[in-house]
Amino acid sequence: MRISDVLRHKGSDVATVPPTASVSDVAATLTEHNVGALVVVDGDAVVGIVSERDVVRQLHQRGGELLSAPVAHIMTASVVSCAVDDTVDDLAAVMTARRIRHMPVLTAGQLVGIVSIGDVVKSRIDQLETDRQQLEAYITHG
């Protein structure tokens, strides 16, 4: 299964923020969209990614003044991304090895979606269920 298949089922909406957004705005946007990470974009360029974990860890270290700081101060700037033609299995391996839970999907440098570790797990479970059904049909019907 390819990442394009995952996006076709889940949709390609991506919650984003500019690098100048405050950490307080980031928390509100995470809550509003009920997501665990936001892609940080400057115009059309992906310049970072910020997760709930980033916010919580930095809040613990820096205290309440963090809420007024720009997200650029806490985001991960070296974004690992994938392409629509990548396979779910390859993506799962990268996400596991690099401990990444959210990965932007880019086509020709443009943001076209985001895939979470939950999307990867769901895709793999769906594939296993399909395989199981096919095996049962083969066994019972020859």
User: What are the residue boundaries of the structural domains of the chain, listed by start?
Assistant: 3-141
pTM of the prediction? Answer: 0.88
Q: What's the pLDDT tens digit per position in 16-74? A: 999 999 999 999 999 999 999 999 999 999 999 999 999 999 999 999 999 999 999 99
DSSP string covering 57-125, please? HHHHHH-GGGGGSBGGGTSBSS---B-TTSBHHHHHHHHHHHT-SEEEEEETTEEEEEEEHHHHHHHHH
Q: What's the pLDDT tens digit per position in 78-94? A: 999 999 999 999 999 99
The DSSP element (H or E) to which 38 belongs, if any, is strand 37-42
Q: At the top level of CATH, which class does the domain 3-141 belong to?
A: alpha beta
**Residues present in the chain in total:** 142
